[in-house]
Protein backbone atom coordinates (compact mmCIF):
# COMPACT_ATOMS: atom_id res chain seq x y z
CA UNK A 1 0.00 0.00 0.00
CA UNK A 2 1.70 3.18 -1.23
CA UNK A 3 -0.65 5.71 0.43
CA UNK A 4 -3.01 5.87 3.38
CA UNK A 5 -5.47 7.90 1.30
CA UNK A 6 -6.30 7.62 -2.41
CA UNK A 7 -8.51 10.40 -3.78
CA UNK A 8 -10.23 9.73 -7.09
CA UNK A 9 -11.81 12.01 -9.62
CA UNK A 10 -15.10 10.57 -10.90
CA UNK A 11 -16.06 11.38 -14.51
CA UNK A 12 -13.48 10.10 -16.97
CA UNK A 13 -11.42 8.43 -14.24
CA UNK A 14 -13.74 5.88 -12.64
CA UNK A 15 -16.86 6.24 -14.80
CA UNK A 16 -17.09 6.36 -18.58
CA UNK A 17 -19.49 9.30 -18.65
CA UNK A 18 -17.93 11.75 -21.12
CA UNK A 19 -20.34 10.90 -23.95
CA UNK A 20 -23.35 11.56 -21.74
CA UNK A 21 -21.92 14.84 -20.49
CA UNK A 22 -21.28 15.98 -24.07
CA UNK A 23 -24.76 15.01 -25.28
CA UNK A 24 -26.49 16.69 -22.35
CA UNK A 25 -24.47 19.90 -22.54
CA UNK A 26 -25.14 20.20 -26.27
CA UNK A 27 -28.87 19.70 -25.70
CA UNK A 28 -28.90 22.21 -22.85
CA UNK A 29 -27.09 24.81 -24.94
CA UNK A 30 -29.66 24.45 -27.70
CA UNK A 31 -32.50 24.68 -25.17
CA UNK A 32 -31.02 27.90 -23.77
CA UNK A 33 -30.66 29.43 -27.22
CA UNK A 34 -26.88 29.63 -27.04
CA UNK A 35 -26.32 27.45 -30.08
CA UNK A 36 -24.14 24.45 -30.85
CA UNK A 37 -21.15 23.56 -28.66
CA UNK A 38 -18.45 21.30 -30.08
CA UNK A 39 -17.80 17.94 -28.43
CA UNK A 40 -14.13 18.82 -27.92
CA UNK A 41 -14.92 22.09 -26.14
CA UNK A 42 -17.22 20.22 -23.76
CA UNK A 43 -14.71 17.45 -23.11
CA UNK A 44 -12.22 20.16 -22.20
CA UNK A 45 -14.36 21.41 -19.28
CA UNK A 46 -15.22 18.01 -17.79
CA UNK A 47 -14.00 18.12 -14.21
CA UNK A 48 -14.89 21.74 -13.53
CA UNK A 49 -17.89 22.73 -11.45
CA UNK A 50 -20.98 23.40 -13.58
CA UNK A 51 -20.96 27.23 -13.20
CA UNK A 52 -17.26 27.34 -14.09
CA UNK A 53 -17.83 24.97 -17.02
CA UNK A 54 -20.64 27.11 -18.44
CA UNK A 55 -18.61 30.31 -18.04
CA UNK A 56 -15.73 28.69 -19.93
CA UNK A 57 -17.91 27.26 -22.68
CA UNK A 58 -20.05 30.37 -23.14
CA UNK A 59 -17.95 33.54 -22.71
CA UNK A 60 -20.09 36.57 -21.97
CA UNK A 61 -23.24 34.60 -21.18
CA UNK A 62 -25.66 36.55 -18.98
CA UNK A 63 -26.76 35.22 -15.60
CA UNK A 64 -30.32 34.40 -16.67
CA UNK A 65 -29.28 32.36 -19.69
CA UNK A 66 -26.49 30.67 -17.72
CA UNK A 67 -29.03 29.55 -15.11
CA UNK A 68 -31.35 28.26 -17.83
CA UNK A 69 -28.49 26.31 -19.41
CA UNK A 70 -27.53 24.92 -16.00
CA UNK A 71 -31.05 23.76 -15.21
CA UNK A 72 -31.56 22.22 -18.64
CA UNK A 73 -28.24 20.38 -18.38
CA UNK A 74 -29.29 18.93 -15.02
CA UNK A 75 -32.63 17.83 -16.47
CA UNK A 76 -31.09 16.19 -19.50
CA UNK A 77 -28.45 14.42 -17.41
CA UNK A 78 -30.91 12.98 -14.91
CA UNK A 79 -34.07 12.47 -16.95
CA UNK A 80 -33.65 13.28 -20.62
CA UNK A 81 -30.66 11.23 -21.72
CA UNK A 82 -30.41 7.55 -22.57
CA UNK A 83 -26.67 7.71 -23.28
CA UNK A 84 -25.26 4.94 -21.07
CA UNK A 85 -22.73 5.44 -18.27
CA UNK A 86 -20.75 2.66 -16.66
CA UNK A 87 -17.56 2.13 -14.72
CA UNK A 88 -14.48 1.53 -16.83
CA UNK A 89 -13.72 -2.17 -16.97
CA UNK A 90 -11.84 -3.28 -13.86
CA UNK A 91 -12.65 -0.22 -11.76
CA UNK A 92 -15.22 -1.87 -9.50
CA UNK A 93 -12.96 -4.81 -8.70
CA UNK A 94 -10.01 -2.50 -8.09
CA UNK A 95 -11.95 -0.24 -5.73
CA UNK A 96 -13.37 -3.20 -3.82
CA UNK A 97 -9.88 -4.61 -3.40
CA UNK A 98 -8.44 -1.32 -2.15
CA UNK A 99 -11.37 -0.80 0.21
CA UNK A 100 -10.86 -4.22 1.72
CA UNK A 101 -7.28 -3.49 2.77
CA UNK A 102 -6.84 -2.51 6.41
CA UNK A 103 -5.85 1.11 6.92
CA UNK A 104 -6.63 2.15 3.34
CA UNK A 105 -8.83 5.22 2.94
CA UNK A 106 -10.62 6.13 -0.31
CA UNK A 107 -12.24 9.43 -1.24
CA UNK A 108 -13.76 11.26 -4.22
CA UNK A 109 -13.03 14.82 -5.36
CA UNK A 110 -15.31 15.70 -8.25
CA UNK A 111 -16.74 18.51 -10.32
CA UNK A 112 -20.17 16.89 -9.94
CA UNK A 113 -22.77 18.36 -7.61
CA UNK A 114 -23.49 16.74 -4.26
CA UNK A 115 -26.89 15.70 -5.52
CA UNK A 116 -25.35 14.18 -8.65
CA UNK A 117 -22.63 12.28 -6.80
CA UNK A 118 -25.03 10.94 -4.19
CA UNK A 119 -27.36 9.79 -6.98
CA UNK A 120 -24.64 7.82 -8.74
CA UNK A 121 -23.41 6.42 -5.41
CA UNK A 122 -26.93 5.12 -4.78
CA UNK A 123 -27.63 3.86 -8.30
CA UNK A 124 -24.30 2.05 -8.64
CA UNK A 125 -23.98 0.91 -5.02
CA UNK A 126 -20.47 2.39 -5.00
CA UNK A 127 -20.84 4.80 -2.08
CA UNK A 128 -19.84 2.07 0.36
CA UNK A 129 -16.27 2.11 -0.95
CA UNK A 130 -15.52 5.71 -0.01
CA UNK A 131 -14.78 7.22 3.37
CA UNK A 132 -15.37 10.84 2.27
CA UNK A 133 -16.13 12.96 -0.77
CA UNK A 134 -16.21 16.56 -1.92
CA UNK A 135 -18.18 18.09 -4.78
CA UNK A 136 -17.80 21.36 -6.62
CA UNK A 137 -21.00 22.90 -5.25
CA UNK A 138 -19.98 22.51 -1.59
CA UNK A 139 -16.44 23.84 -1.89
CA UNK A 140 -14.31 25.54 -4.56
CA UNK A 141 -14.09 24.07 -8.04
CA UNK A 142 -10.98 22.45 -9.40
CA UNK A 143 -8.20 23.35 -9.99
CA UNK A 144 -8.32 25.19 -6.64
CA UNK A 145 -7.10 22.67 -4.02
CA UNK A 146 -9.66 23.46 -1.32
CA UNK A 147 -11.51 20.17 -1.72
CA UNK A 148 -8.27 18.26 -1.21
CA UNK A 149 -7.40 20.30 1.88
CA UNK A 150 -10.84 19.55 3.31
CA UNK A 151 -10.55 15.81 2.65
CA UNK A 152 -7.13 15.66 4.29
CA UNK A 153 -8.47 17.48 7.36
CA UNK A 154 -11.61 15.34 7.61
CA UNK A 155 -9.73 12.05 7.34
CA UNK A 156 -6.73 13.26 9.39
CA UNK A 157 -4.18 12.31 6.75
CA UNK A 158 -1.00 14.24 5.98
CA UNK A 159 -0.55 15.42 2.39
CA UNK A 160 2.56 13.23 2.06
CA UNK A 161 0.41 10.14 2.73
CA UNK A 162 -2.18 10.91 0.03
CA UNK A 163 -2.44 10.78 -3.76
CA UNK A 164 -4.87 12.28 -6.27
CA UNK A 165 -5.93 10.19 -9.30
CA UNK A 166 -7.47 11.93 -12.29
CA UNK A 167 -7.84 12.22 -16.05
CA UNK A 168 -7.60 16.02 -16.40
CA UNK A 169 -5.09 18.75 -15.78
CA UNK A 170 -7.61 20.21 -13.28
CA UNK A 171 -7.18 17.13 -11.07
CA UNK A 172 -3.41 17.13 -11.31
CA UNK A 173 -2.96 20.87 -10.87
CA UNK A 174 -5.03 21.04 -7.69
CA UNK A 175 -2.84 18.29 -6.23
CA UNK A 176 0.35 19.93 -7.40
CA UNK A 177 -0.73 23.20 -5.75
CA UNK A 178 -0.42 21.61 -2.29
CA UNK A 179 2.49 19.26 -3.03
CA UNK A 180 0.35 16.11 -3.22
CA UNK A 181 1.45 13.15 -5.33
CA UNK A 182 -0.74 12.72 -8.40
CA UNK A 183 -1.51 9.97 -10.87
CA UNK A 184 -2.62 10.69 -14.42
CA UNK A 185 -4.88 8.21 -16.21
CA UNK A 186 -4.87 8.34 -19.99
CA UNK A 187 -8.29 6.80 -20.75
CA UNK A 188 -10.21 9.99 -19.87
CA UNK A 189 -10.74 13.36 -21.53
CA UNK A 190 -7.36 15.13 -21.54
CA UNK A 191 -4.55 13.99 -23.82
CA UNK A 192 -1.43 12.38 -22.32
CA UNK A 193 0.78 15.31 -23.38
CA UNK A 194 -1.50 17.74 -21.57
CA UNK A 195 -1.43 15.60 -18.43
CA UNK A 196 2.35 15.30 -18.59
CA UNK A 197 2.68 19.08 -18.22
CA UNK A 198 1.47 18.70 -14.62
CA UNK A 199 4.38 16.35 -13.85
CA UNK A 200 2.40 13.37 -12.52
CA UNK A 201 4.06 11.02 -10.06
CA UNK A 202 2.86 8.12 -12.22
CA UNK A 203 0.89 7.75 -15.45
CA UNK A 204 -1.45 4.77 -15.88
CA UNK A 205 -2.45 3.72 -19.38
CA UNK A 206 -4.85 0.95 -18.28
CA UNK A 207 -7.07 0.34 -15.26
CA UNK A 208 -5.21 -2.76 -14.00
CA UNK A 209 -1.95 -0.84 -14.20
CA UNK A 210 -3.40 1.89 -11.98
CA UNK A 211 -4.57 -0.45 -9.23
CA UNK A 212 -1.42 -2.56 -9.35
CA UNK A 213 0.65 0.58 -8.82
CA UNK A 214 -1.55 1.87 -5.99
CA UNK A 215 -1.15 -1.48 -4.24
CA UNK A 216 2.63 -1.36 -4.63
CA UNK A 217 2.85 -4.35 -6.96
SS (H, E, C) the chain: CCCCEEEECCECCCEECHHHHHHHHHHHHHHCCCCCCCHHHHHHHECECHHHHHHHHCCCCCHHHHHHHHHHHHHHHHHHCCCCCEECCCHHHHHHHHHCCCCCEEEEEECCCHHHHHHHHHHHCCHHHCCEEEECCCCCCCCCCHHHHHHHHHHCCCHHHEEEEECCHHHHHHHHHCCCEEEEECCCCCCHHHHHCCCCCEEECCHHHHHHHHCCC
Sheet containing 132-135, strands listed edge to edge, beginning at the edge strand earlier in sequence: 132-135, 105-110, 5-8, 162-166, 181-185, 202-204
The two beta strands, 181-185 and 162-166, are parallel
25/74 Cα distance (integer angstroms): 9
Q: Do domains 5-16+87-214 and 18-80 have the same CATH topology?
A: no
CA atoms of 74 and 21, how far apart (whole Å): 10
CA dihedral 136, 141, 146, 150 (to 10 degrees): 10
Fold classification of 5-16+87-214 (topology level): Rossmann fold (3.40.50)
Residues 140-182: tens digit of each pLDDT? 999 999 999 999 999 999 999 999 999 999 999 999 999 999 9
State the pTM of this model: 0.92
Report pLDDT for 89: 97
Would you list the domain boundaries of the chain?
Answer: 5-16+87-214, 18-80
d(CA 177, CA 58): 27
What sign does the dihedral 157-160-162-168 (CA atoms) show? positive
Q: What is the pLDDT of residue 62?
A: 94
Q: Mean of the pLDDT values across residues 185-206?
A: 96
Bridge pairing between strands 86-87 and 15-16: antiparallel
In this prediction, residues 135-141 reach a mean pLDDT of 94
pLDDT, mean of residues 108-133: 93
In CATH terms, 18-80 corresponds, of 3.90.1200.10, 1.10.3720.10, 1.10.150.240, 3.40.50.300, to: 1.10.150.240
* Residue 3 binned pLDDT confidence (cut-offs 50, 70, 90): very high
So which residues are the catalytic ones?
9, 11
Instruction: Please state, in angstroms and as integers, the Cα–Cα distance from residue 60 to each residue in 30, 34, 49, 57, 200, following that order.
Output: 16, 11, 18, 10, 34
Amino acid sequence: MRYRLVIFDWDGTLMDSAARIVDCMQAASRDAGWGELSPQSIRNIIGLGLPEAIATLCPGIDAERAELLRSRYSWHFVEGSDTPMRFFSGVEAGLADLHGRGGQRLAVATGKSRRGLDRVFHESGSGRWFHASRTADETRSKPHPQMLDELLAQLEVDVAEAVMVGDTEYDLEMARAIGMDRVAVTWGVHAPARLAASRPTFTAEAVPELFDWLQGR
